[in-house]
Structure formats: structure tokens, C-alpha cells
Amino acid sequence: MQNKPEILAPAGDKNAFLAAIAAGADAVYLGLKHFSARMAADNFSTTELSKMVELAHKEDRKVYVAMNTLVKPGDPDSAARLIGRLQRDVSPDALIMQDLGMVEVAKQAGFAGELHLSTLANVTHPAAFQAAKDLGVSRVILPRELDIDEVRQCSDACPDDMSLELFVHGALCYCVSGRCYWSSYMGGKSGLRGRCVQPCRRVYQQKARKGRFFSCQDLSLDVLAKTLLPIENLKSWKIEGRKKGPHYVYYVTTAYKLLRDNPDDPKARKQAEQILEQALGRPSTHGTFLPQKRHSPVNPSEQTSSGRLVGKITVEPPKKAKKGERTYPKYFFKPRFELLKSDFLRIGYEDEQWHFTDRVPHPVPKNGTFVLRAPAGKRPKSGTPVFLIDRREHEMIKILREWEGKLSRCKGKKSESIEVPLSYPAMGKRPRSMTILMRDHLPHGKQGKAGKFTDTANGIWLGQRSLKTVGRTLFGRMSWWLPPVIWPNEENKWRSMVKQALRQGARHFVLGSPWQAVFFEGARNIDLIAGPFCNPSNPAAIAALKKMGFKGAIISPELSQEDVMELPKQSCLPLGVVLYGYWPMGISRFPLEGVKPNEPFYSPKGECFWLRRYGQNSWIYPGWPMDIEKNKQQLLQAGYTLFVKLMEKPPAAVPEAKRTSPFNWDLNLL
């Protein structure tokens, strides 16, 4: 029997939810007012959500609640109360989470539905699925960077009673989900907390060339989605877009339902393609889905703003003013197709500070004249493009009203507060403090103090080169680091290198994701540390890491001073912190387009950046290091025992840094 995956649609507000249900979505995912990775969406209260879940269940549909943010030290208690209320008053079918702490909290709060791991949780290689299942997870949402062969490989490795979910349509991030700190590093608005300001969408310059080097087109598998149908454990086709309106949700859901239900009908495929063209998304790409045709989702010379081009602005100079009068330019355009009442327009591109939006007050025929109401201080130039970004067709309004009537007849539940006590394991004996000098290669000459794993030690990336060049007597004294991302097609290589390192005496490992612990099953007398790319940030996550066999954790460098100082009081494991070094703003697997490695490039504000290739990935760095080393004594007093210095050297072409950054130490991480 052919596998029939669910169509999973997004909803950022009530109308988008109703549009998803009306279009035939099998399931809808949405967020609450807190703990959502799309905080710019309207999102929902638990009382609102109870009515929506009631309607969905009457229609035999499912609702998944996204609580997929990085969780700060003070968050688990409030998260537990919220999950307790969801369980008691709403009964959603699943929770979507990125933070291991939320998985732990949901279990302690007695949540009875499924637990799904967000793509932000960075479960990127097949062996990781069993580790996720052991934590109580029933579904993993796969990375967008996988090709069809890797999706099949993941399905083959999927344990019984676990399912997989894959994005088939919607916005792409240039960096790997869960491995982007760009927005956070540039001002405390963390993508891992749903606050990303999308600095990757901006125009950058490298030498004489300018371009949107990191601004991705939208993913659209469209007719290629047919190839996913035989993949047995792929149970959900996911549509991105919780910040989109009901028009987008209805059209895209309808299109993929057609493609799923009529895979061999050319008329249905053509109809679906036509529908997707009207969905008001960005220019689309298949990206790296086809292994023999891996395309970069970036086209640096073109804009990647969402919406359908309506026309371009003409500016009519102001008429000569009479004495005492003020006159203004007239901004207008002639639409290439009919505009409907309440159509929502964007003038210019999102990365232009002066861009603005306008609502169409009455219908405008094709080639008619529409005069824009430019806000004060917004002065677009002639030729500025205008995009239709959302619309309310008469038929759409009629459908939404019909479903709103059904929703109004649902009683729901008024959600009251609830107490959910949380408990974590106790802290064992705290080790003595130690500093790791983390290098991309070993220095030449004598090791000096770095040869002993007590006060100061050398850290080094595990790899074929380091396995060959490190003397065997030093293996047990080194801190061996695994990368932040391991892809399916390189899992066997990493498993083999771990075995070789263990045979040669390596005992201290810092892992780039919690799931890499599966490479050490059966190994004895080793220390596994959850590295900073695991994003440990709260006591519940650290408790989950302890259950997985970790003996310590290096906290997420995103945390503010208040959070950093609070965490050791709550932790059941010894903690470490990154003191100094070039912390990457993001890691990407996508092919480079227009920007060269090891050469500086600049933001519109003149900020310097550079990138370096490691294996399949590009690491993007700021031109200045993070530095909180002056706070080391304060951190020691708070209880930190492991201190990391990242000794990465910028390429020779990159200008010497004139400043450092405390990252979010002095900020309130939003």
C-alpha cells in the first residue's frame, strides 16, 4: 500500500488556521504567546487554542503546538505550567520542541501527546534517531539540507514507532537550523528564541561585488514531492509559513494535497504548479534535494523578497505651491493584474529601511492607477517595485466566514493556572577548574603546560589529520571535539574516527550535538562533555544530558550575564563557558554562490565578516572575536569549572580586529 503522508500546514493567526482546515490539511502546527520560534506571528492563548483543537478534532484533523525555542534558566517552571494547562484544557496531538529541556519538562508535566523534535534540534544523521527515541521522542523533523537519497537513508534507520517529517515548501535559512547565531551575535535577537531579524537577507559586498550572498529563495519541491511517497517512515509533508496569511496557507495546502493524492495525473500536477505560482511566496528552488543536481538556493544578483510583483512606482513631482501651501510628490503605479479590496502591498524590499506596506481600499483594474499613501519620511524612487504579499479574495472571505461560524460553536475551555513541580538530579562533586585552548590544528614545538589535562589543555577538532599528527602519548591528554553537524553521508566516517581515537587512548570528548553520544556506546572510562553547539541553557536540558551519559556541559554562549550566573546554581552537571574566540555566526551546507572563502566581506554598515570551508560546511565568522575573559573570576565564583578559548585564526586577508564583543553578556537576550 502506498504511503500517504499527512499534509501539515502552518498557522500564525486564526484566519490562517481556518484556511488550513478549509483546504484539507491533515494537521496544523501553530505557536503560543510564549516559547515559539516564530514570535513575530500573532500566535494563540491556551483558551483560543482549546476551541481550535476542538474544531480540528471534530473534523478528524490534528493540531501540533510548537514550543521550539531555546529555554533560558528561569523558563522551565513556567514552561511546565503551560504544558500542564495544555494537557488539561487543550489536548493537542503533539508538542514540537528544539530544546532537550522541553522534552524533559513535558514528560514531568504529564503531557500525553506525541513529542516531536524540531529541525532546530539538529538531528542530522541516522544513528541519532535511536537516541531521540530513548528520550521519549516519537517524531523527528529532518533538516532542509538533505537530498532525497539521505531522506531514504534516514527512513531506513528510523526505529519502530518513530516517524519522520520533512519540509516540502516555504522559506529557507542559509544556515543549518539550530546552528545560526547571526541575529543574536549582532544584537541579542536570537533565532533560537524566535526573534531573528534576518541579517542574512541583507546586501553584502566582497571587493567590487555586491549581492544577497546568503538570502535564500523559497524551497518548493512541487512535482518532485512525488518521489517522497514510497519512503515508508516519512509520515508528514510540512509547509513552512507561520508568518504568512490565509491566502498562502490555503493555496499551498491545496497544491500539495493535489500532488500527494494524484501523483500520476499530469492535469493535477499542472494545476498544483499553477496554484503555487499564485501563493505569493519568494522565487522558488529545489535546492539540494536532487543529489545529481545540487543547486545553491541563493541568487546574489536578484532579490528574494516574498510576494508577487504588481508594478513599479512612478514619482510625479509636486506641483508649484501657492503661498502658505505645502505640496508633495505623487507616488503611483499601474498594476499588471487586477487588485482586490484589502489586498496587502509591500513597497520596496524588506532589507531597505524605508520600505513600507499599504492596504488597497477599493478594487483597481489591470493597468488602472493606484496612488500610494506614503507615510512620513518614506520616499520611494521611480522604478521601486511593488509586491502583493497577501490578499482576501471574495471566495476566500466566504470560506473563512463559514469556518469561523463552525469555530464559534466550539465551547473550548477557559484555562486556569496550574502548578507542576519539577525535579532534577543532584550535582555530584564539582571538578577542579580547567581551561581548554581549542585549536583547529596543533602548534609546533613543545606542548608545555598544554600537555597535561588538569589546569590547561589543548583542544582539537577530531579528524583524519589530527588522528595522524597527534603523538599517541598525548591522546589521553587532549580534548577531542566533534563538529556541530554530521550529515548522513558522513556518519560512518565519524563513527570510524571515534573508534580509532578511542583505540589510541583518547578519553576526553566534547560533542557538537547530544546525538553524537551514540558513537560512544560501550566505551568505558571516557568523559563526554556537551559542547556549546549543543546549546545547553537551562537545568532541564542539563538533566536530560546527564541521563544521556554526559559528565559536563559547556553552556550556550548566547546567554546574558544574568542567565549565565544563575545556571550553575540549578545544574546537576559541572559547567563550562566559552571565554574568548571567533564564534561562528552560522554554519551552512549550501553551495557558495558569489562569495569567496578566506576573503573579507562587508555588511551595509561596514561590518567585516569572513567564512571558511570545513568539509561539507561553510563557517561564517564576524571580523571580531567574542571576549568575556575579564569576567573569569566572577564565573569561577558562580561555579564554572571549564573555560574555553577558541584559537581560530582569521585568514591573512581579513583586517586585524579593532574590537571584541561580549556577545550577549551585557544584553537581555530576548
Reported as a pLDDT band with limits 50, 70 and 90, residue 318 is confident
Average pLDDT value over all residues in the chain: 92
What spatial distance separates the first Cα and last Cα of the chain, rounded to whole Å? Answer: 48
For residue 606, what pLDDT is reported?
A: 95
For residue 456, what pLDDT is reported?
A: 74
Beta pairing, strands 308-312 & 385-390: antiparallel
**Tell me, what amino acid is at 257?**
K
Q: Phi/psi of residue 575, each to 5°?
A: -120, 150
For residue 305, what pLDDT is reported?
A: 78
555-570 mean pLDDT: 96
For residue 129, what are the CA distances in angstroms to 108, 158, 391, 483? 22, 6, 41, 18
Q: What is the three-class DSSP state of 377?
A: coil
**Tell me, what amino acid is at 456?**
T
Q: Give the span between the Cα atoms of 396 and 264, in whole angstroms.
A: 29
- Please write the tens of the pLDDT for every residue from 417-442: 888 889 989 887 778 788 888 876 44
Q: Is the Cβ–Cβ distance between 535 and 70 less than 8 Å? A: yes
Asked whether the whole model's pTM tops 0.85, one would answer yes
588-603 mean pLDDT: 95
* Per-residue pLDDT at 40 exceeds 80: no
For residue 281, what pLDDT is reported?
A: 87
* Per-residue pLDDT at 630 exceeds 50: yes
Reported as a pLDDT band with limits 50, 70 and 90, residue 446 is very low
Q: Give the span between the Cα atoms of 594 and 574, in whole angstroms.
A: 44
- Across 199-229, b (16+ Cβ under 10 Å) vs e yields bbbbbbbbeeebbbbbbbbbbbbbbebeebe
195-208 mean pLDDT: 92
326-348 mean pLDDT: 91
For residue 442, what pLDDT is reported?
A: 43
* Per-residue pLDDT at 116 exceeds 80: yes
* Per-residue pLDDT at 324 exceeds 80: no
451-480 mean pLDDT: 84
- Please write the tens of the pLDDT for every residue from 230-286: 999 999 999 999 989 999 999 999 999 999 999 999 999 999 999 999 899 888 999
Ordered by where they begin, the domains of the chain are 6-175+217-291 (3.20.20.70), 434-583+625-646 (3.20.20.70)
- Please write the tens of the pLDDT for every residue from 495-534: 999 999 999 999 999 999 999 999 999 999 999 999 999 9
For residue 391, what are the CA distances in angstroms to 8, 239, 280, 400, 423? 22, 19, 9, 13, 49
For residue 417, what pLDDT is reported?
A: 83
For residue 447, what pLDDT is reported?
A: 36
* Per-residue pLDDT at 445 exceeds 60: no
Least confident of 344-353, 486-495, 531-540: 344-353
Radius of gyration of the chain (CA): 26
The beta strands (E) that lie in 485-536 are given as 508-511, 527-530
Q: What DSSP letter does each residue of 96-156 carry, written as one string?
A: EES-HHHHHHHHHTT--SEEEE-GGG---STTHHHHHHHTT--EEEPPTT--HHHHHHHHH
CB atoms near residue 591 (< 10 Å): 14
User: Which residue bears the cell 498557522?
Assistant: 11
Percent over 90 (pLDDT), the chain: 79
Q: Is the Cβ–Cβ distance between 117 and 504 less than 8 Å? A: no
393-415 mean pLDDT: 93
For residue 41, what pLDDT is reported?
A: 56
